[in-house]
Amino acid sequence: MRKLYIVKNQRDFDKIIKDGRYRKNSSYVIYYEKNNLPYDRFGISVGKRIGNAVNRNKYKRKLRAIIDNYKKLYVNSQDYIIILRGIAKEKEYKELENEFLQLMDNIRKDIKLHEEKK
């Protein structure tokens, strides 16, 4: 994932979480909001329930790999904040990947439905 596509600023994180919509399942909470850029941006948050810094970074790398593998699924011009829940440490990579894909599919449907209403 290129640095251009990353939400790093704490103000951006807070704004997306406060103003954006969200979807969740057992492993993830994903907040999303429209941005005025021609590309998507992602922010990843892994809490201390996952473990120490080494484990948290391992899960961030896994999540970045999942994001990179499925770039075509995302709706353009959206900011996503992905929060990994503590239960995720008990799951295998494939389970995490499948749950992420299901959640992104729900988000894509929600965005299309929301745009049709406008």
Q: Which residue type does 84 have?
A: L
Residue 89 in any domain: the answer is yes
Average pLDDT (80-97) is 93
Q: Is residue 20 part of a domain?
A: yes
Query: Within a domain: residue 117?
Result: no
Q: Is the pLDDT of residue 48 over 80?
A: yes
Q: With respect to residue 56, please indicate whether it lies within any of the assigned structural domains.
A: yes
Residue with tokens 């406060």: 18
Total domains, the chain: 1
CATH code for the domain of 25: 3.30.230.10
Q: What is the pTM of this model?
A: 0.90
How far apart CA 66 and CA 113 sit, in angstroms, is 25
Residue 57 pLDDT class (50, 70, 90 cuts): very high
Angle CA 67–72–36, to nearest 5: 85
Residue 91: what pLDDT?
A: 92
- Residue 84 CA to residue 26 CA, distance in Å, equals 9
Length of the chain, in residues: 118
The domain of 76 spans 3-108
Q: How sure is the predictor about 76, in pLDDT bands with cuts at 50, 70 and 90?
A: confident
Distance from C-alpha of 24 to C-alpha of 92, rounded to nearest angstrom:
18
Q: Comparing 15 with 114, which gets the higher pLDDT? A: 15
